Amino acid sequence: MQQRWNDILWNKFIPMLRLEFTANQPKLNEADVMPLTNQVIIPDDDVPIEQPNNLKIPLHVIKTCTHDFNERNFIGKGGYGRVYKGTLTWADHINQLVAVKRLDVTRFQGFCNDNKEMILVYEYATNGSLDAYLHDTSMFGGLSWPQLFKICMGVVSALDYLHNHVAEKHRIIHRDVKSANILLDENWNAKLSDFGLARIGLANQRNTFVITNLAGTYGYTDPQYERTGFLTKESDVYSLGVVLFEVLCGRLAYVSGYHDERRFLHHLARTCYKNGELDKIIDQRIKKDIKPRTLSKFSTIAYRCLHKNREERPTIADIASQLTEAWKIQFTR
């Protein structure tokens, strides 16, 4: 059993979701690698899978890379530890800019567990995470509508791979899709990151769910999952809908400064869409650049993702198809 899951995860799933894009259709390159987390819990028997030794990086190399975890190299803190930037020179990696997560996963370069340390090394996302640009839409002049649309298409491609193409009989449910977990490389390509909460489910079945304790981020989580504890691929679709409206509205899913329905974007977006009042909440900075038919298709698919009943939500393949059509309307007609 453990060998079978090793084969699935390391040969099928672990390939990195490096997302590139062409004008007509998103393209997925599976050349690189990304781990779920330092250990992956398998539904059958909760057997943790160890990382392969050929990715192991010695501790002294990690310390050299980060200048012994110097605070000047500290760039952030996630749910599983502190993150430092550094320059990695080891094996095939020559002066490569990386991010190093010191555990208490983005392109996986290696790991270290020397001297009771638990450390992951992965590609440094030069342009940070999407949420930073939504929190402050003026950052670096703001992202343009074509850039934002391209990022959305990249995230959809990543989820399509996880839900439908990662393995013949299994799928991955990310369980924490949000703008903070969408990293942007030097070319503004989107990379879906942080698989610490991900779960494996069966594919090719009409109804597939995983019973699990509630996890995710408030404001993004599927309300049906919150009520029942049943996690499905449609739970990721709901979270994606929130992200699509974040992009369209130029704000985050939760804004503590509001004390009405504006506090949570999913409530506000559903209300405005149903009342034909999207103009009130669309980011005025990009509004003039969005063609009316593009806006109609984009907002409609985002709204459908937010259905409270998961059976009413579109599949990720349907979302990809609709957004590709919207892209063509916006840029090629």
The reply to whether 176 belongs to the active site is yes
Q: Is 287 annotated as a binding residue?
A: no
Q: How many CB atoms lie within 10 A of CB 293?
A: 13
Helices (H), 186-232: 223-228
| Residue 172 tokens, joined | 């991955």
Where is 48: in which H helix or E strand? Answer: none
| Residue 126 tokens, joined | 């030069």
Q: Residues 125, 70: contact at Cβ < 8 Å? A: no
Closest CA to 173 of 215, 144, 219, 135: 215
Q: Exactly one of 32, 44, 176, 289 is catalytic; name it.
A: 176
Rounded to an integer, what is the distance from CA 163 to the centroid of its chain?
13
How far apart are alpha carbons 62 and 68 in whole angstroms?
8
Helices (H), 229-264: 233-249
The DSSP string of 178-190 is -GGGEEE-TT--E
Report which residue type is found at 88. Answer: L
Q: Give the residue numbers annotated as catalytic, written as ranges.
A: 176
Q: Which residues are annotated as a binding site?
A: 101
Q: Which residues are annotated as a binding site for ATP?
A: 101
